[in-house]
Amino acid sequence: MAVRNPRSQTTEWIASRHPDTILYGIIITGAVMSATAGHETSARRIVATTLFVLGIYWLADLYVRAFAEQFHGARRPLSERIPAAARHESGVLLGGVPALGTFTVMTAVGVAPGFAADVALWLTVAELGGLGYLSARRAGATAREALVEAAFAALLGVLMVVSKTLLH
């Protein structure tokens, strides 16, 4: 029995959970936190707004997936399409967990919401970079090529950090 390294295990786990949806969840969560986490915004409001937008995005993806399938010739009853779409799109919600969880725990122990949002946004940068690296390595890129991909992927997160600074 071959022993797989942690990077391979992580990559396989992500690949099995529709990485596109996980990325959307990460990006939506970071973008909402960036836009809402001002100096005078409460932690409760930031969490509620982020959950609301993430939930709406998830429902929109679920709706689109369940109904667009018919345009591709599939003919399954709605009672089968909706649960299948919900399972597929659950990665959107999963993608929001790390940043939102970090923010929630930090503010629960007394950290100021603005600083907690900064930490959560830098986590988003790391997540995007990490996923860029893992996807490139999975596709056969060298470590150097994967680092370039990771840096490029992380730029979207950096844009969110910069946006938070400019917006507030």
pLDDT by residue (tens digit) across 83-113?
A: 999 998 999 999 999 999 999 999 999 999 9
Task: Identify whether the C-beta of residue 37 lies closer than 8 Å to the C-beta of residue 168.
Answer: yes
51 or 74, which is more confident: 51
For residue 1, name the pLDDT band (cuts at 50, 70, 90).
Answer: low
- Tell me how crowded residue 67 is: count the other CB atoms within 10 A of its CB: 13
15 or 44, which is more confident: 44
Is the full-model pTM beyond 0.75?
yes
Say if residue 168's pLDDT is above 80: no
71-90: b (≥16 Cβ within 10 Å) or e:
eeeeeeeeeebeeebbebbb
